[in-house]
Amino acid sequence: MQIIKSPSHDPSYNLSLERELLEKPAGDFLLFYINAPSVIVGRNQAIEAEVDTAFCRAHHIPVLQRISGGGTVYHDEGNINYAFISNRTAISILDSQPLLPIIDALASFGIRAEAGKRNELLVDGYKVSGTASYATSKRQLFHGTLLHNTNLDILHTVLRGDSSRRGRKIASVPSPVRNLSHYPSLACETEHFLTLLVSFFSSYY
């Protein structure tokens, strides 16, 4: 497993980097990146139904659509994104227990997390990570967020679209959320948390 930390906070760059790694003919990758404030919408969703686009325009928050399904998420410098990219095989951790590595990582900080019904990560009943996946005939992507010190006020504001404009598109499922910095073992700068994650996974794999 090759661990990569993106040098950029540009959401367009990082989504393109995910796709570039997915399109490689082979190789297992764990990509980490932190985006500047942005809203990332699932492939099968209507942007206007999920996002307060007027607020985003007024505050210069870009809205992008990704290749995977799932719900709409807000990114900022307090959120860490991870992406597992690998070949499709008969048996794959991405198919069976996709969140186990992240659960193990959080356990190393004394935080007990569990997978929810929609492959979200819960700590004390609060969502700390949402995930989505995408697969081609030969390759697969499983990616997610880790709320560490995200501005939750802005998160709740931007993820408030006009449901009347949804049509037949997929709706996001709201959940109560919490930052991992709430817990003393992770009451640190987000960049430091990312450094700790990279160190953990360098030994894990």
pLDDT at site 169: 52
pLDDT at site 29: 97
Sign of the CA dihedral running 45, 49, 53, 55:
negative
Residue 192 in contact with residue 163, Cβ under 8 Å?
Answer: no
Half-sphere exposure of residue 153, counting CA atoms within 13 Å on the CB side?
0
Domain edges within the chain: 2-204
- pLDDT surpassing 70 at residue 164: no
pLDDT at site 45: 82
- pLDDT surpassing 70 at residue 90: no
- pLDDT surpassing 90 at residue 150: yes
Q: Rounded to whole angstroms, what are the CA distances from 101 to 94, 97, 104, 199? A: 10, 9, 5, 13
Among 7-11, 16-20, 23-27, whose mean pLDDT is lowest?
23-27
pLDDT at site 94: 64
- pLDDT surpassing 70 at residue 40: yes
Model pTM score: 0.92
**Domain range 2-204, its CATH number among 3.20.20.10, 3.30.70.260, 3.40.718.10, 3.30.930.10:** 3.30.930.10
Q: Rounded to whole angstroms, what are the CA distances from 55 to 39, 147, 167? A: 11, 21, 22
- pLDDT surpassing 60 at residue 168: no
**AA identity, residue 26:** A
